[in-house]
């Protein structure tokens, strides 16, 4: 088959996979606040009740279609539509109308389960509205500086972003890492991938190369919306926790949020041990985040301009991309019963 026949549209998989996806920072959603969002190709509202319960709900009132993020308000434990004052509690049930008496049974708003983890808000999405099938971990952030966070709006898909975690070949080309090694083979659980790598990277200050540092990292990919990396730079004595959080907003568009915490190890190595901790910790946090944001930025042009090829012409050294793609299929209930694409035997490599 001619290779050009294998080039499909940029994202030949559904734009709304099942899983947990970040919808905001918890500290930015005070009780009584409503924010309008795009999520999985829908307009939604994110709000917090007076008692502190976060909720994600379809933006359009099921009564007569008004946008509840445009003039609506939180009233105690419910959100009130600005058009007819119908009120909905966080699970979508209409609990009050201005007319008295029971609300129409059809006046029920679609909602998504929301949890708070490490100061972040995550919503569970399933195309068939099924309940959560797995939980996200609580990260051990006690004693760490941070978090620091940054978000981009990108023309890509979460599967493409998470694929970088197993694409060993791009580490040297795009990020200029050297001595890349796989510290342990890819391990697959039902909803989680476990990865473990090491690499070296140059240290430059004002254009002067001061040597290199080795980073060991262990990562977990929980579905297509949550990737976690625990990394250690031994010769500086710096440990950091990284999150990569891609969330589909509209078809072909994804909000990518990164989050970072850092900690000086009890016995720091190298010149860092001569810097007072009260100064070294925030300084380390600042420069580590600059480096993290820069590394992710290096991928953006590729993500926004590439197409998805399946099967790809994999070469030795690319990493376990086939196994990753086979694992991804479970997050698309839309593909139930659809056979894998021709050539998907790469999944076994």
Tell which residue, 59, 62, 58, 96, has the closest CA to residue 76.
96
Per-residue pLDDT of 196-233, as tens digits, reads 999 998 876 556 666 788 999 999 999 999 999 999 99
| pLDDT at 284 > cutoff 90 | no
Per-residue pLDDT of 43-53, as tens digits, reads 999 999 999 99
Work out whether the CA dihedral 80, 65, 17, 146 comes out positive or negative: negative
Rg (CA), the chain: 23
Q: Per mean pLDDT, which range of 37-41, 131-135, 261-265 is the poorest?
A: 261-265
Q: DSSP 3-state assignment of 11?
A: coil
Q: Give the domains, in start order, of the chain with CATH numbers.
A: 19-125 (2.102.10.10), 145-324 (3.90.380.10)
Per-residue pLDDT of 170-204, as tens digits, reads 999 999 999 999 999 999 999 999 999 999 988 76
Number of residues written out for the chain = 349
The structure's pTM equals 0.91
DSSP 124: E
Q: How far is CA 33 from the centre of its chain?
A: 23
Parallel, antiparallel, or unpaired for β 111-112 and 94-96?
A: unpaired
Per-residue pLDDT of 296-317, as tens digits, reads 999 999 999 999 998 899 999 8
Q: Of all helices (H) and strands (E), which one includes residue 299? A: helix 277-305
Name the token pair of 124: 């569970």
């Amino acid at each position: 088959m001619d290779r050009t026949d294998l080039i499909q549209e940029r994202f030949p998989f559904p734009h709304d996979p099942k899983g947990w996806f970040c919808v905001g920072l918890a500290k930015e959603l005070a009780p009584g606040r409503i924010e309008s969002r795009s999520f999985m190709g829908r307009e939604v509202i994110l709000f917090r009740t007076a008692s502190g319960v976060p909720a994600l709900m379809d933006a359009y009132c099921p009564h007569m279609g008004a946008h509840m993020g445009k003039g609506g308000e939180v009233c105690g434990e419910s959100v009130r539509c600005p058009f007819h004052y119908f009120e909905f509690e966080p699970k979508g049930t209409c609990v009050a109308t201005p007319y008295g008496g029971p609300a129409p049974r059809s006046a029920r708003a679609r909602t998504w389960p929301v949890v708070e983890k490490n100061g972040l808000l995550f919503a569970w999405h399933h195309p068939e509205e099924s309940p959560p099938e797995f939980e996200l971990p609580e990260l051990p952030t006690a004693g760490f500086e941070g978090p620091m966070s940054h978000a981009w709006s990108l023309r890509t898909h979460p599967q493409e972003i998470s694929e970088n975690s197993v694409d060993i070949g791009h580490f040297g080309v795009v990020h200029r890492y050297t001595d890349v090694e796989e510290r342990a083979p890819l391990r697959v659980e039902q909803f989680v991938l476990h990865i473990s790598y090491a690499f070296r990277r140059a240290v430059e200050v004002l254009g002067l190369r001061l040597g290199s540092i080795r980073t060991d990292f262990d990562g977990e990919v929980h579905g297509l919306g949550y990737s976690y990396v625990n990394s250690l730079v031994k010769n500086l004595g710096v440990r950091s926790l990284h999150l990569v959080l891609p969330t589909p907003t509209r078809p072909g568009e994804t909000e990518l949020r990164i989050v970072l915490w850092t900690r000086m190890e009890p016995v720091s190595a190298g010149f860092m041990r001569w810097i007072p901790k009260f100064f070294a910790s925030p300084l380390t946090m600042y420069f580590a985040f600059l480096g993290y944001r820069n590394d992710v930025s290096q991928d953006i042009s590729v993500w926004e301009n590439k197409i998805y090829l399946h099967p790809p012409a994999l070469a030795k050294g690319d990493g376990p991309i086939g196994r990753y793609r086979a694992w991804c299929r479970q997050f698309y209930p839309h593909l139930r019963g659809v056979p894998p694409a021709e050539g998907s035997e790469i999944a076994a490599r």
